[in-house]
Structure 1
Amino acid sequence: MQLRPLPAFADNYIWTLADEAGRALIVDPGEAGPVLAAAGEGLQPVAILLTHHHPDHISGVGDLLQKWPDLAVIAPNDPRIGHATRRVGEGHGVEIEGWRFSVMEIPGHTLSHIAFHGEGLVFCGDTLFSLGCGRLFEGTPAQMQASLTKLASLPGETRICCGHEYTVNNGRFASMVEPGNLALRRRTEEARTMRDRGLPTLPSTLANELATNPFLRVEAPEVRRSIEARLGRSPDDSVEAFAELRRWKDGFTS
């Protein structure tokens, strides 16, 4: 099993999961070019998995179907996503070429956002990033925090396959929120080194994110103190703490 992130646009990743023969799942192809290039090197797409409706995650599907018209396209229940051959939601199972995934509904970034969990991986789109989380374009802070909590309940060794290369910038923000976190310091240094070498910082692991990602750590003492300093008081609950942390990140410029 070979897991590979194909760079797309400025900072997207199209994830591919291939077997030894090159048969591959394609996750969130925002553009077709990187997949077509990989096919020229032997990749053989067998299905497309889509996590949410944003164009940078689905716009390549039509062109891929022109080349491979029989591809299954598995997507959330959202009419904004065309080409779907199957719509899935919470608890549905997906089995393709021997790979098995369960579907998790994780609203927040968008209302219909889903993740695919299986094979030691989770394809989580733009909900959970390494050292960060997605913006709330449609959902509420409570929805996003519940979705992150759901993802955080997966086994620690789960590899986090998210949709963007944001780790270095997220690390700058996280280090401002929790400057005393040594694991975070190691992760940010590692990420900078990897990017300097032209390497992806992903996948991360859930265990790593639980130790370093402030959006999974709103109850950690130093994170909570930073949020309280921003609010000028103690937050009423963890949802308010998360909401303030997300607002802070929305206005952050590195």
Structure 2
Amino acid sequence: MMFRTPSARQFWRIPGLGFSQVRTFAMHVLTIPAFSDNYMYLLVDEKTNQCAAVDPAEPKKLLAEVKKNDLTLTCVLTTHHHWDHAGGNSELLSLVSTPVRVYGGSMGVEAITDQVSHGETISLGKDITITCLHTPCHTKDHICYYATTSDQPNGCVFTGDTLFLGGCGRFFEGTAGQMYHALIEILGKLAGSTKVYCGHEYTVKNLEFAKTVDGENKALLERMDTCIKMRKDGQFTVPGTMQEELDTNPFMRVTDPGLQARVKATDAIDAMKIVRQMKDRF
């Protein structure tokens, strides 16, 4: 069993089980890899062992962890309608014997039972409150799920393909202004200690790009070295923290005058547009 505690978080990987676990107080998160670089998650209420599945695109693999950990699955939190996030919902429902709610941001989400809107809350177990954050841009229906407990008020956020560690999703169905609103005015307002669980393991590649526009950022260079070592050691780079994103993610640093000058942007939203175009060509 391996432990690491950068940025005041506890992480361990259980050999042979293919997933990692991060424990908080009243809740914990199981991280389960899917496909080549996706992540699925189980958000678990410690008091009841009830859990929510985030983007269970490989349902059999996820349900094996539900069974192994003696959990009760009560709902699915779908970040957006893309197949590698929502495409396992119908199969999952066919494999469970108890009612499971499927939450998402539009009726276009596979097998959805409950469409949610910005600010709506979902209860899980005895102590977890999940706040839905509408972050349209990658897709119009994108929802991030912010989970807190009474003893973990800063909690964690599941960001799907809106915010990656060190990067963000492509603007498939939105604009630079919308991504600015999502990253800076919504997610960026969460506490710095909030843990960030994103939808893909893109971190090293994202930080390699970040270095091209923010290469004198010491925090970025240190984080890049750490993440490269983690991947070589077979570890996941999730979770990050919101403070790490604010310090090292170029898409969350678009308000920085130095970064704006380097990319020849007129303002923060223009910087968001230019940096995204640069990343798309990287």
Give the TM-score of the pair, scaled to structure 1: 0.92
2:224 to 170, 174, 188: 188
- In structure 1, the partner of 2:211 is 175
Amino acid at match of 2:179: M
| 1:245 has 2:269 as partner | no
Partner secondary structure for residue 200 of structure 1: coil
Deviation string, structure 1 residues 159-189 (Cα, Å, up to 9, x no partner): 1111011100001001111111111111111
Alpha-carbon distance, 1:67 to partner: 1.9
Aligned length: 245
Alpha-carbon distance, 1:17 to partner: 1.3
Amino acid at match of 1:36: L
- In structure 1, the partner of 2:13 is none
Paired with 1:238 and 1:220, the residues of 2 have a C-alpha distance of 8
Paired with 1:118 and 1:46, the residues of 2 have a C-alpha distance of 15
Paired with 1:118 and 1:39, the residues of 2 have a C-alpha distance of 19
Deviation string, structure 1 residues 212-251 (Cα, Å, up to 9, x no partner): 11101113244223212xxxxxx23221111000000001
Correspondence 1:100-111 to 2 at 5 A: 100-111=129-140
Deviation string, structure 1 residues 85-132 (Cα, Å, up to 9, x no partner): 211101111112131011111011011111111220111110011110
Q: Runs of 5+ in structure 1 lacking a partner?
A: 229-234
| 1:138 has 2:177 as partner | no
Q: Runs of 5+ in structure 2 lacking a partner?
A: 1-26, 149-154
Paired with 2:107 and 2:229, the residues of 1 have a C-alpha distance of 41
- In structure 2, the partner of 1:52 is 80
Amino acid at match of 2:192: G
- In structure 2, the partner of 1:231 is none
- In structure 1, the partner of 2:164 is 129
1:94 to 122, 135, 138: 122
Q: Is the 8 A contact 2:45 2:124 kept in 1?
A: no
Amino acid at match of 2:157: V
Partner secondary structure for residue 122 of structure 2: strand
State the identity as a percent: 39
Q: Is the 8 A contact 1:27 1:48 kept in 2?
A: yes
> Which runs of structure 1 show a deviation greater than 6 angstroms over 4 or more consecutive aligned residues?
none
**Cα-Cα RMSD:** 1.4
Paired with 2:226 and 2:258, the residues of 1 have a C-alpha distance of 22
Give the TM-score of the pair, scaled to structure 2: 0.83
2:59 to 32, 42, 52: 32
Deviation string, structure 1 residues 30-49 (Cα, Å, up to 9, x no partner): 22132022134134322111
Q: Is the 8 A contact 1:31 1:58 kept in 2?
A: no
Paired with 2:274 and 2:44, the residues of 1 have a C-alpha distance of 40
2:251 to 190, 205, 215: 215
